[in-house]
Amino acid sequence: MAVCQDRVVIVTGAGGGLGKAYAELFAAEGAKVVVNDINEKAANVVVSVIKEAGGEAVANTNDITDYEEAALIVKQAIDSFGDLHVVVNNAGVCRDRMFASLSESDWDMVMNVHLKGHFCISSHAVKYWREQSKGGKDVNARIINTSSGAGLQGSIGQSNYAAAKGGIASLTLVQAAELARYGITSNGLAPAARTGMTEDVFADMMKKPEDGFDYYAAENVAPLVVWLGSEAASGVTGKLFEIEGGKLSVADGWRQGPQKDKGARWDVAEIGDAIGSLIDESVPAQKVYGT
């Protein structure tokens, strides 16, 4: 049997790139998919592809950054297919600038689409699942968030994007801790793939090869996302996966490092030596992208 047979899935930003690959593979694995994208034509094309392959899907163009409109996405999934099991928060945008040149609008746009967008739709989905759980239903639901290597290590020229993606990584941890009681898991991923957001910036590196393995194809990321959305993934939560080509790993997040305890208040004059010693003892962080 297909791994997501009859599961109802919302994929945001599914009109192209990674979201398109996710939506199509979810449908191929038996899911009923709400293809959300602000580009109506792109969303309809993906729905047509899914239906032509024998799958089930509907298009949705509601704005994930508007709380009330995000509720309509969840409502459409339930009205169309009778339930909801998975939310894949994929939609994104870039407004890259060096920090000294970053405008308020650059900051707000990226925060709204990434961080607020993750909140809005997930909030409505969680309320639906919580009511199901309180009503005695055995909920087996999924939130799948999209962070980035920029959110884990930082990235030159992307302070707004890195801050949003770092926030999403932390959001994932808290969702996993709080929502397990309702039968909801929350995981994230930091994918590397050729999409509308990356193909211009990394055009040479991500260029599609004439033959052989297409390392940066969005389709390489989709199997992880579809598996995380399946019932088989019920025991996995609070994790952030990095995936690139055929490489798959679990990110090793922030943890308390070396510690010195004086047992009393530190003097200002002592702090410098203590910090120098702690830095020498700690494992160096990965370098910020672009340095």
E strand or H helix that includes residue 141: strand 141-146
Q: CB-based contacts of 286: which residues, under 8 Å, 6+ apart? A: 152, 153
Tell me which of 155, 161, 230, 239 is the catalytic residue.
161
Whether residue 161 lies in the annotated active site: yes
Q: Which of 148, 159, 186, 230 is catalytic?
A: 148
DSSP type of residue 238: S
Are 8 and 81 contacting, i.e. CB atoms less than 8 angstroms apart?
yes
Question: What is the secondary structure of 164-190 as a DSSP string?
Answer: HHHHHHHHHHHHHHHHGGGTEEEEEEE
CA pair distance 90, 20, nearest whole angstrom: 10
Active site residue 216: no
Separation between Cα atoms, residue 203 and residue 284, nearest integer Å: 30
Q: Considering only CA atoms, which of 72, 76, 77, 91 is closest in space to residue 19?
A: 91
Helix ranges (DSSP H) in the chain: 17-28, 40-52, 67-81, 104-110, 117-134, 149-153, 159-179, 222-228, 268-281
Tell me which of 20, 32, 116, 165 is the catalytic residue.
165
Quick one: tokens of 258?
A: 């070396």
The whole-angstrom separation of Cα 119 and Cα 132 is 20
CB 168 within 8 A of CB 118: yes
Active site residues: 148, 161, 165
